[in-house]
Amino acid sequence: MVYIIASGKGGTGKTALACGLSFAFAERGIRVLMIDGDTATRSLSTAMNVYESAVFDLSDVAFGTVSVAEAAISHPDYGNILVLTSPMEESSLTETCVADAVKQAKSDNLADVIIIDGPAGLGSGFRRCAMGADKGIIVATSDAISLRSADLAAAELERLGVNDLRMVVNRVSKKITGRGGMPNIDDAIDLAALPLIGYIPEDRKVITSLALGIPITKQRGSRAAASYREIAGKLERSDL
């Protein structure tokens, strides 16, 4: 199965979710290939601690210099996670390069699940990522603007042929969950009109994990890690 992690509004936690789910899948013995679909930042490479070791990236695969198997790097702690990094320059990519990389990874049986970490915005980078995906997970934070913009991302994904969509609400604080007056999980479902697969609590350990390249699943007592594991379990039960 190939997931695109997408959002309407930027900075909602796509990379955090892509990493958290990958670690949780890996703990279950599931092999994961992550593809960095965000050319603007190197945040996935940093978060997955492959920044220094990456020699080739998606652009080298796009132009046939190397295969996905040659370009993707194993995570230093989780050998069953491969990361295909992104170049900084969008111009070095082709329209179909993500879809082509996915096809190659499938035929070479490199992974059981492929996770594409999507870019900010709904432009050409988003289309390139969507072309490789079967299913979409849309990440929103629990404010109304983010929840409504999740709908825009969903509509765009459907237009591009990715129809199986789920939503994750991220950075939910204890104060917001279940209290009257503020958007709670029920409001979130109503506002975004997308099936919710789970929510991730606000957890400072996510911030340090991403910045320092420490797997969130190695951070003792992380509430976010518990949620990533729960969502990975649900996805596995629904046939990944």
Query: Closer to ligand ADP at the Cβ: 15 or 22?
Result: 15
Q: CB 122 → ligand ADP: shortest distance, Å?
A: 13
User: Any contact of residue 7 with ligand ADP (CB under 6 A)?
Assistant: yes
Residue 210 contact among Mg ion, ligand ADP, none, beta carbon within 5 to 8 Å by kind? ligand ADP
Q: CB 134 → ligand ADP: shortest distance, Å?
A: 21
**Paired strand residues for 82:** 33, 74
Among 71, 210, 225, 232, binds ligand ADP (CB under 6 A): 210
Nearest Cα to 196, choosing from 155, 119, 158, 142?
142
Among 12, 15, 86, 227, binds Mg ion (CB under 5 A): 15
Among 207, 212, 218, 238, binds ligand ADP (CB under 6 A): 207
Site for Mg ion in 20-39 (CB under 5 A): 38
**CB neighbour class for 107 (10 Å; exposed up to 12, middle 13-18, buried from 19):** exposed
Among 3, 12, 138, 222, binds ligand ADP (CB under 6 A): 12
Q: CB 67 → ligand ADP: shortest distance, Å?
A: 27
Site for ligand ADP in 144-183 (CB under 6 A): 170-171
Q: Are 167 and 197 in contact (CB under 8 A)?
A: yes
What are the angstrom distances between the C-alpha of 177 and each of 21, 170, 186? 22, 11, 9
Query: Closer to Mg ion at the Cβ: 121 or 233?
Result: 121
User: Any contact of residue 10 with ligand ADP (CB under 6 A)?
Assistant: yes
Q: Are 134 and 162 in contact (CB under 8 A)?
A: yes
Q: Are 117 and 36 in contact (CB under 8 A)?
A: yes
Distance of CA 146 to the CA centre of its chain: 17
Q: Which residue has the tokens 């490479």?
A: 45
User: Any contact of residue 15 with ligand ADP (CB under 6 A)?
Assistant: yes
Nearest Cα to 95, choosing from 70, 55, 64, 129?
129
Residues that bind ligand ADP (CB under 6 A): 7, 10-16, 43, 120, 170-171, 200, 202-203, 206-207, 210, 224
